[in-house]
Amino acid sequence: MSGKKERNKERREKRLQEISLLRTIPYSDHQRWWSQETVAVVTGANRGIGFEIARQLAEHGLTVILTSRNISVGIEATKALQEGGFSYDVHQLDILDGESISAFVEWIKQKYGGIDILVNNAGVNYNLGFDNSVEFARQVVDTNYYGTKNMIKAMIPVMKPSAAGARIVNVSSRLGRLNGRRNRIQDATLREKLTNLETLSEELIDRTVSSFLQQVEDETWQSGGWPQTFTDYSVSKLAVNAYTRLVAKEICDRPQGERIYINCYCPGWVKTAMTGWAGNISPEVAADTGVWLSLLSDQAITGKFFAERREINF
Ligand code: NDP
């Protein structure tokens, strides 16, 4: 391993140790803005990182709604958690299915009156190791970007007003960084437009992902200057990151008492089905930043991207 890689590895391991320590420090009474009445929804919570985020939020004393596209699997996951004695509920939710989203929103309104926290965790990736197939590019972009966007649009109207503010956390990836040194869009003008909040728009993000998908269809994507690693997945997460910043800007002037904070984070490379269990951290550690962002009491934090509880550049 090169000296630089070695140093980065050491730095990461040190940070992970710091986080294990931070996780043992209980929240003080003045930090705990939530109670058992606080409702958190986690998408794709039947396994992996989503399951862990749900478990940790419930351990902190919130009511957690696990959602799963396959309800039987969701119920099984909830049973495993209910044995711990915490407060859970479960509902079917496929973030690609408009009817499933509408039914979920109706159920939330009827049963809980609204929610306080939305964790958009559901996602897909079909590549492993050095593979870079785009065979499932449409499904990857539809699920990771459009599914997340559908959920944000559907849930903002049912986010409860509160003094502490409601929260949206999008589970994203460093692979979707716009201005990372490696694995980025080659077109500097497009990068600048997507970076600059004055030029960033939903239409621009949609047009960017559509242009990628069109090139996949035309089989010209390889010379299109797209990120080189897990290209479809990177494009989808880049769109999630850009959309996070855009929504933060759009909702930043909501009055006190109706505020919503929205951030995204990279959980690291995690031992879950998505990586063929080849990651280097556990789902428990990977859930940490998502849980921390969900429970933050610092209301100045919105429209930001995090990894290991630290802000990173988009
Ligand atoms: P898993 O594959 O273990 O879990 C993915 C979850 O998403 C499953 O519950 C899956 O449901 C659900 N899901 C997929 N499509 C839909 C859909 N249309 N509607 C509802 N749920 C859906 O992956 P991880 O736990 O590793 O990943 C969780 C998140 O973390 C993803 O957004 C991923 O991109 C992100 N991430 C993961 C990394 C890693 O190293 N693992 C690295 C960076 C980011 P089902 O069981 O039915 O398939």
The tens digit of pLDDT for each residue in 30-54 reads 999 999 999 999 999 999 999 999 9
User: Domain spanning 35-129+140-178+241-312: which superfamily?
Assistant: NAD(P)-binding Rossmann-like Domain (3.40.50.720)
Q: Please check whether residue 152 is in contact with residue 41, taking contact to mean a CB–CB distance below 8 angstroms.
A: no
Contact 162, 116 (CB under 8 A): yes
**Single-letter amino acid code for the residue at 33:** W
* Structure confidence at residue 121 as a pLDDT band (50, 70, 90): very high
Say if pTM beats, i.e. exceeds, 0.95: yes
Q: Which of 146, 233, 243, 265 is catalytic?
A: 233
- 311 - beta bridge partners? 306
From ligand 1's centre to the CA of 250, what distance in Å?
A: 27
The token duo for 130 is 């050095």
**Predicted confidence band at 1 (pLDDT cuts at 50, 70, 90)?**
low
Q: Which atom of ligand 1 is nearest to the CA of 44?
A: 9
Task: Name the residue type at position 116.
Answer: D
Residue 44 Cβ contacting ligand 1 at under 6 Å? yes
Residue with tokens 């080659």: 186
Q: Is 96 in the pocket of ligand 1 (CB under 6 A)?
A: yes
Q: What pLDDT does residue 199 have? A: 98
233 tagged catalytic:
yes
Ligand 1 site, residue 123, Cβ cutoff 6 A: yes
Measure 124 CA to ligand 1 centroid, in angstroms: 5
Q: Using CA atoms, how far apart are residues 290 and 292, in angstroms rounded to an integer?
A: 5
Q: How far is the CA of 239 from the centre of ligand 1 (A)?
A: 16
pLDDT at 99: 98
Mutate to test the pocket of ligand 1, among 136, 177, 183, 270 (most ligand atoms within 8 A of CB): 270
Say if ligand 1 is within 6 A of residue 122 CB. yes
Q: Please state, in angstroms and rounded to a whole number, the distance separating the CA atoms of residues 10 and 305.
A: 22
79-103: pLDDT as tens digits: 988 888 898 999 999 999 999 999 9
| Cα separations in angstroms, 63 against 20, 72, 213 | 24, 20, 39
